[in-house]
């Protein structure tokens, strides 16, 4: 994979992420790649091989960033469309109630007109033949006036609520249009970046492509070495914890407790371990399936689509995008990463994989590749943003 490495502002990294040994390894890796990849500028004005590699890598990174924006816009569009549909249904029901209230109000008005019910006056009483007639007329008039008032109140209420819901529906339709515009923009950006990257690669000769492949091979060898170093560090930490636990047990008072508390190993959480095993098993079963931006399975995935599906198989609901997944758990140092944890990359948090132990992860790398197992240092130690334990 082409290099995605980008400069990092000091102080922006999550505390505890980097370790001195890995930082030294990263510097060694940078020096090695610089010696291998550097190519002199060409006489014909064409970019050097190093420049092409960096440009292609940047384009893929930009495409992945646009993909996460696309995923966010797609999710927002779906939610907004559902809200609009609900509001429109509500407006339709309220409009029917408003029409019913209008008809009821009209029927009372017509009845008043037919019976002559209105404001009582002297003529009304003079037309009555008996005192009982006057009493009956007043009773009918009072009842009609009361019902008419209820009908008017109901009509006004229905009209007010209907107008309010129509306004909400209008605002939601406007927001939906904006979400759809964002979706189109993100989609166009992804497609443009991928097209540019393919065109750049198409301009390379067979010899240049072979040289790039050699550079990539050395890069992956260095990534594997870094993964092995992380595995060694984690094994030493686990051994130290076990030794501390044995010493603590030896100094206990016979009840299983002692005067000094020992921090448990992160891997002793059996509940998390069980869920992590299910998530990893799912992710492993997807190996070989193609990366497709915006995809959530089952036939293809993008990076966050894969991690979301994997943890869903373990009964844990993760958000859709990397931007939200990075906040869906507890951040831990790389040195304490355990199987099932999510590993995030780059300052803009646009890539994610699921850690499987020994410095390795399963992830959906980029367009044109397939879900695979790979070192978490596949793009250099400096590309690792953080590690998050989601459950």
The phi, psi pair for 14, rounded to 5°, reads -60, 135
What is the largest distance, in Å, between two alpha-carbon atoms of the chain? 120
83 belongs to the catalytic site:
no
Q: How many CB atoms lie within 10 A of CB 359?
A: 25
Contacts of 348 (CB under 8 A, 6+ apart): 65
Question: Could you tell me if 364 and 306 are in contact, meaning their C-beta atoms sit under 8 angstroms apart?
Answer: yes
CB 303 within 8 A of CB 322: yes
Are the CB atoms for 359 and 227 separated by under 8 Å? yes
Question: Which candidate in 63, 303, 314, 342 is catalytic?
Answer: 303
Which residue among 94, 363, 366, 385 is the active-site one?
A: 363
Given a contact cutoff of 8 angstroms between Cβ atoms, the answer to whether 387 and 331 are in contact is: yes
360 is catalytic: no
Strands (E), the chain: 330-332, 342-345, 351-357, 360-363, 372-375, 384-389
Active-site hit among 219, 275, 320, 351:
351
- Residue 4 annotated among the catalytic residues of the structure: no
Please identify every residue annotated as catalytic.
303, 351, 363
């Amino acid at each position: 994979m082409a290099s995605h490495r980008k400069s990092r502002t000091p102080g922006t990294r999550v505390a505890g992420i980097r370790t001195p040994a890995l930082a030294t390894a990263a510097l060694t890796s940078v020096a090695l790649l610089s010696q291998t990849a550097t190519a002199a500028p060409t006489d014909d004005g064409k970019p050097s091989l190093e420049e092409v590699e960096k440009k292609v890598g940047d384009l893929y990174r930009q495409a992945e960033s646009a993909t996460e924006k696309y995923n966010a816009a797609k999710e927002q569009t779906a939610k907004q469309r559902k809200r609009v549909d609900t509001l429109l249904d509500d407006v339709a029901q309220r409009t029917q109630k408003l029409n019913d209230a209008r008809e009821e109000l009209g029927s009372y008005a017509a009845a008043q007109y037919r019976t002559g019910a209105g404001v009582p006056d002297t003529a009304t009483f003079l037309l009555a033949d008996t005192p009982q007639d006057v009493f009956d007329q007043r009773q009918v008039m009072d009842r009609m006036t009361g019902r008419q008032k209820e009908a008017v109140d109901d009509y006004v209420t229905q009209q007010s609520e209907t107008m309010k819901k129509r306004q909400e529906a209008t605002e939601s339709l406007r927001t939906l249009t904006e979400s759809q515009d964002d979706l189109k923009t993100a989609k166009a950006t992804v497609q443009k970046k991928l097209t540019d990257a393919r065109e750049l690669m198409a301009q390379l000769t067979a010899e240049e492509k072979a040289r790039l492949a050699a550079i990539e091979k050395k890069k992956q060898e260095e990534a594997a070495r870094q993964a092995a170093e992380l595995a060694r560090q984690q094994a030493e930490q686990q051994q130290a914890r076990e030794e501390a636990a044995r010493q603590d047990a030896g100094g206990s008072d016979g009840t299983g407790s002692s005067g000094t508390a020992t921090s448990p190993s992160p891997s002793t959480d059996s509940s998390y371990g069980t869920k992590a095993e299910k998530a990893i098993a799912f992710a492993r079963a997807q190996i070989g399936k193609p990366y497709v931006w915006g995809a959530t399975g089952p036939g293809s995935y993008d990076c966050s689509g894969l991690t979301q599906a994997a943890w869903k198989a373990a009964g844990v609901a993760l958000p859709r995008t990397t931007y939200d997944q990075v906040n869906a758990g507890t951040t831990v140092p790389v040195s304490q990463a355990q199987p099932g944890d999510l590993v995030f990359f780059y300052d803009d948090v646009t890539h994610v994989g699921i850690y499987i132990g020994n410095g390795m992860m399963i992830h959906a790398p980029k367009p044109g590749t397939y879900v695979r197992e790979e070192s978490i240092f596949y793009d250099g130690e400096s590309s690792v943003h953080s590690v998050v334990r989601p459950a």
